[in-house]
Structure 1
Amino acid sequence: MRPTPAFVNLLDDAAFLSLEHQLHLADVLGEHSWQVNLQTRAFTFDTEHGSIECTDFHFLGTAAPGPDSWLWSWANRSGFPESVAALAATVREFGVEHEIGELSAPELPFDSLPFDQPEPFQVAAVQTEAAKAVTGRWTGYQGPAGDDGTRAAFLVEHPDFRVPPVEGPRVMRTLTEGLSGLALHDHRRALNSYLSLRGLNPAFSPDESRLMVDSPVLAGTIGFDEHGVAASLELSVRGS
C-alpha cells in the first residue's frame, strides 16, 4: 500500500521543526530515564540534574511487532482515561475531514507506511510526526511498552521543552542535520514549511530553483537540483 499524498505532506511539513524540538529535548534531558502513569496523567523524566515532571502529555498510540500494526490510543481498549487520548482523537477528526486514512483508521498495518520492512520505533516516529503537524505540539517521545518490542508514542509538554527564540546558528544546525539525516519526500515543501513556521520570510524564485531567505537572523539562498533536492546552502547568520 502507498501512503496518501496528504499524509506525506504532513510529514514534510513537520520534518525540520520537529527535528529542532527533538534536538532541544535531547540537550535538556541528556542521559535520562522516564516513567508514565496513564491513570494519574503523570509523565516524569529523571535526568542527571533532577526530575522533570511534564506539565501535560498526550498518548498517541503504540506500534507493535506482533500484529505489525500501529494502534491509535483512542482505539485502544486498555482502560486508561479518555483524557490521555483526547489529542489523538483530534488527529483522527482531522484525518476524517481530510480523508487521510493513516490518521483516521483505528489500526494501521506497517506496510501502509512509507518504509520497507519498518521497525516499530520507525512507525511510532512517523505517526508522531504527522500528529505534530496536525496539533502544533512539537515535542515527541517514545519508549518501550512491554518486553515484546512494542513502542508507545507521546507528545510531551514542559516549559523547558520549548525551543528558544529563533536564532541563526540553531536554524543552521537544524537545516544541516535535517538535510543529512531526514527522509524527506519534497525538499522544497519541507524547507519552505520550516522557514515559514520560524518566521524567516522564505520566498521561491520564479522557477523554484532557489528558496531565498531574508530575515534578521539568517539570509541567503537554498538551491535545488533538477530533481527538487536541496543541493546548496548559501546562507549567512546575522546578528550573532
Structure 2
Amino acid sequence: MHPGLQNVANRAALYANLKQTLFGEVLEEQLGEHQIDGDMSAGTLRFVGAERSLTARIHLIGSVAPGPRSMLWGWAHPQGGSGVAAKVKELGEKYGITDLTTAELPFEPGEDVGETVAALAHLVGYVGVEATRLSPYYTADVGGGTRAVFVLEGIEVPEPALMQVASRLGYVLSAGNITDHRSTVLGLAEHRPGFTATEDGNAIRISDETGHVEFTFDDQRRITNASMKLKGADQGQEH
C-alpha cells in the first residue's frame, strides 16, 4: 500500500466511519428499503424509497479498477476534475505527499482482487473526507468490478456524539485499515465541530460539553484503552 495515501486516510478514518454509520441510520429512518439511482452527467446520486427520495450532489474522488490494478484520482479522471476533487491534489502539494499528486497509483491485487479493490476504495473515501472536509462518502460498483468513490453534499447527516465514539471504536479498529490510531483520534477532533483534543504523554482526551473520552496509546501509537466520562455521571465506561 502507498504510505502517503494511508497516512492521510488514517487522519480522517475514525470520523469518516462514524459519519458512515450515521448516514446509514438517516437512510433507514427516512427511506426504509431503498434503491440508488446515479447520474454522473448531472453529478447526482438519488436514494429512492417507497414514498420519498433523498438527492445528494456527488464529487468523484477516485476510481479503483481491477483490470489495470490501479487507482485513478478524481482530479485526473475524464469525468472528474471538479474543484472539490482538486482538493486532494492541493493537499498533496501543500504537504509534499506524492501519492496525492500522482494521477494514477498501482496496487497489488492480493489473494482476492475484489476485496483489495473494496478496501482501497474505503481508503480513498477517507482521503476524500480529509481533503475536502465533506462527508459522508459513497463507493459504487460502476461495472467490471471497478469502484468509484464520491463525497456527498446535500443530505443532512448529524455529527457523531461522544457516546457513539466510544461504542463504535472497537468495530472501526477491527477493520484493520487504520495504521496510526493516535493520528486518527487527533483527526476526529479536527473534523468534528465542538470536539477538542488535549495531549498528555501517552494519552489524548477528546472533550465536548457533555464529557470526554480518554485514549491511551502504546509506543507504536496503537490504542490500549479508551475510557468515557459524561458530565453528571458517577461512573465512566472503559473499552
TM-score of the superposition, structure 2-length normalised? 0.81
Q: Measure the CA separation in 2 of the matches of 1:41 and 1:212.
A: 39
1:183 positional shift: 2.3
Aligned-residue RMSD, C-alpha = 2.8
Q: Measure the CA separation in 1 of the matches of 2:118 and 2:94.
A: 27
Match of 1:186 among 175, 180, 188: 180
Residue deviations 1:41-89 (CA, integer Å, cap 9, x gap): 23211235521111x2201221111100112233233xx4x67x33112
2:212 corresponding residue in structure 1: 219
2:34 corresponding residue in structure 1: 32
How does 1:158-177 map onto structure 2 within 5 Å? 158-160=154-156, 162-164=157-159, 167-177=161-171
Question: SS at 1:67's partner residue?
Answer: coil
Q: Measure the CA separation in 2 of the matches of 1:120 and 1:171.
A: 27
Q: Measure the CA separation in 2 of the matches of 1:227 and 1:41.
A: 42
Q: Measure the CA separation in 2 of the matches of 1:121 and 1:94.
A: 23
2:236 corresponding residue in structure 1: none
Q: Where do 5+ consecutive residues of structure 1 fail to align?
A: none
Taking structure 1 as reference, are residues 43 and 221 closer, same or farther at Cα in structure 2, changes over 3 Å only? closer
Q: Measure the CA separation in 2 of the matches of 1:41 and 1:197.
A: 25
Give % identity: 24
Taking structure 1 as reference, are residues 221 and 98 closer, same or farther at Cα in structure 2, changes over 3 Å only? closer
TM-score of the superposition, structure 1-length normalised? 0.81
Figure out how many residues of one structure are paired with residues of the other and give that number. 227
Amino acid aligned to 2:120: V
Q: Measure the CA separation in 2 of the matches of 1:193 and 1:41.
A: 29
How does 1:147-158 map onto structure 2 within 5 Å? 148-158=144-154
1:137 positional shift: 0.7
Taking structure 1 as reference, are residues 64 and 209 closer, same or farther at Cα in structure 2, changes over 3 Å only? same
Question: SS at 1:89's partner residue?
Answer: helix
1:29 positional shift: 1.9
How does 1:28-67 map onto structure 2 within 5 Å? 28-30=26-28, 31-47=33-49, 50-54=52-56, 56-67=57-68
2:198 corresponding residue in structure 1: 203
Taking structure 1 as reference, are residues 168 and 127 closer, same or farther at Cα in structure 2, changes over 3 Å only? closer
- On the 8 A contact 1:4/1:101 being kept in 2, the answer is no
Q: Measure the CA separation in 2 of the matches of 1:41 and 1:143.
A: 14
